[in-house]
A and B are shown apart, each in its own frame.
Chain A
């Protein structure tokens, strides 16, 4: 399918979705990790990504309602629960681990739709989703290397290399869009990696800018609404193709609207600003990991 890139002069047509290519690369590389290690955690991550990607592909082909998409994404959590590749011991900064035998599976069920939608909601500009995901995976790579968890390091490297390979095609000016199949698969895979790798808090902190974005949008529109169906746009495109924050008090607050609070910017400047903010979250995530390792 070809879709117009709305933020460019002449609205050039760009192929979408790139999600199937992302899913294929992830499935092949994680199958390789499984055949080498025999560790079911690699299978869990692959299945979670495939189910979420399938939901996204259905949405790419025929737009689904927000609540239906969220409901279907609960199914993406099931491989982790059915394969038993989680540990109900949540590792917290300073505190050692917290046993959550009953609550943890429920948290797993919620976590995958949340991370998938969080990634989906930042996929608004050229290169933002893939660049952001690649940055957010950096603290996981460091943490798995420090912990000596070579299987999860392999899984995360597969995720990172996939993004590094896709980014040159997705960055400004995009030659392909990942679509919902790509964004939901990447978000669900990220959620699965932090759950089966027991780095939940590191992952949460690395995603704070995206979590803030999702929360602001959801609290502004009061529910799960497709971004295509938002009545008030948070950002406007000017005639000179600079992006400008909406001054409408009823427009949703988003990360990009916050970035544009200082004045109009070109699309790639908005993306690079969000990358800098994400780097701050990456540093905080590494500090959080150090706190998790330190038990007084």
Chain B
């Protein structure tokens, strides 16, 4: 029953993935709150400047959340390596591209 004995290891690995994703989410929220939100236009700035600051804040907040989503790729590839499942589509695609450019 080899597959069933592998189950606790798999549960631990995927749980680690979930915990890592949770920690990265908390860190992302902390960065948004501590670094992005306090970023405000100086008192008495014109409407244009306040508007540009608001746009910059939204972009910075969005960037932090994009980084969180990107971390999913990293976690997925780490999991694939950890379990020896297979190379994931993104990494295998980049490997194929690299190999093809070498042979070209």
Residues of A at the B interface (CB closer than 8 Å) are: 92-95, 98, 103, 201, 204-205, 208-209, 212, 215-216, 219-220, 242, 245-253, 255, 257-259, 261-265, 269, 273, 276-277, 280-281, 284, 288, 291
Kindly report which residue of chain B lies nearest to residue A243, judged by CB atoms. Answer: B3
Nearest B residue (CB) for A278: B18
Q: Which residue of A lies closest to B6 (CB)?
A: A262
Question: Which B24-41 residues sit within 8 Å CB-CB of chain A?
Answer: 25-26, 29-30, 33, 37
For the complex, give the distance between the alpha carbons of A129 and B2 in Å: 27
Once the chains bind, are A261 and B89 in contact (CB under 8 Å)?
Answer: no
Contact A280 B15 (CB under 8 A): yes
Contact B29 A258 (CB under 8 A): no
Which of A209, A258, A269 lies in contact with B85, CB distance below 8 A?
Answer: A258
Is residue B73 within 8 Å, beta carbon to beta carbon, of the partner chain?
A: yes
Chain B interface, >50% SS class: helix
* Cβ contacts under 8 Å, B88 to chain A: 220, 249, 253
In whole angstroms, how far apart are the Cα atoms of A252 and B6 in the complex? Answer: 22
C-alpha gap A277/B12 in the complex (Å): 8
C-alpha gap A242/B4 in the complex (Å)? 12
Q: Which residues of A contact B29 (CB under 8 A)?
A: 92-93, 95, 201
Query: Contact check: which of B3, B21, B80 meets A253 at CB < 8 Å?
Result: B80
CA distance A216 to B84 in the complex (A): 17
7 examples of A-B residue contacts, CB within 8 angstroms: A209-B14, A219-B90, A250-B89, A258-B85, A261-B83, A264-B3, A284-B22
Residues of A within 8 A of B21 (CB): 208, 212
Query: With a CB–CB cut-off of 8 A, which chain A residues contact B26?
Result: 93, 288, 291
User: Beyond A98-B33, A248-B86, A261-B85, is A212–B4 a contact (Cβ under 8 Å)?
Assistant: no
Q: Report the separation of the CA atoms of residues A201 and B75 in the bound assembly, to the nearest whole angstrom.
A: 21
Q: How far is the CA of A212 from the CA of B58 in the complex (A)?
A: 24
The answer to whether B87 touches A276, judged by C-beta atoms less than 8 angstroms apart, is: no
Q: How large is the interface on B (under 10, 10 to 19, 20 to 34, 35 or more residues)?
A: 35 or more
A209 in contact with B18 (CB, 8 Å)? yes
Contact B58 A103 (CB under 8 A): yes
Cβ-based interface call for B104 (8 A): no
Are A273 and B86 interface neighbours, CB within 8 A? no
Report yes or no: B22 in contact with A208, Cβ–Cβ below 8 A: yes
Q: Contacts A94-B30, A98-B37, A204-B25 known; A284 to B92 CB distance under 8 Å?
A: no
Known A-B contacts A259-B10, A273-B10, A277-B18; A92 and B25 likewise in contact (beta carbons under 8 Å) = no
Distance in angstroms from A199 CB to nearest chain B CB is: 15
In the bound complex, residues from chain A placing their C-beta under 8 Å from that of B72 are: 212, 215-216, 219
Min CB distance, B8 to chain A, in Å? Answer: 9
Q: Which listed residue, B17, B30, B33, B85, touches A212 by the CB 8 Å rule? A: B17
A205 and B89 within 8 A (CB): no
Contact between chains at B2 and A263 (CB < 8 Å)? yes
Q: How far is the CB of B64 from chain A (nearest CB, A)?
A: 13
**Provided the pairs A262-B6, A269-B7 are in contact, do residues A245 and B85 lie with their beta carbons within 8 angstroms?**
yes
What's the nearest-Cβ distance from chain B to residue A257, in Å? 7
> Most chain-B Cβ atoms within 10 A of its Cβ — which of A204, A257, A261, A264?
A261
Q: Which one of A95, A220, A245 contacts B33 once the chains associate, using CB atoms below 8 Å?
A: A95
CB distance from B17 to the nearest CB of A (A): 7
Chain B residues, Cβ within 8 Å of A246: 86
A276 to B11, Cβ gap below 8 A? Answer: yes
Q: Which of B7, B15, B76, B86 meets A262, CB within 8 Å?
A: B7
CB distance from A265 to the nearest CB of B (A): 5
Which residue of A94, A209, A250 contacts B92 across the interface (Cβ within 8 Å)?
A: A250
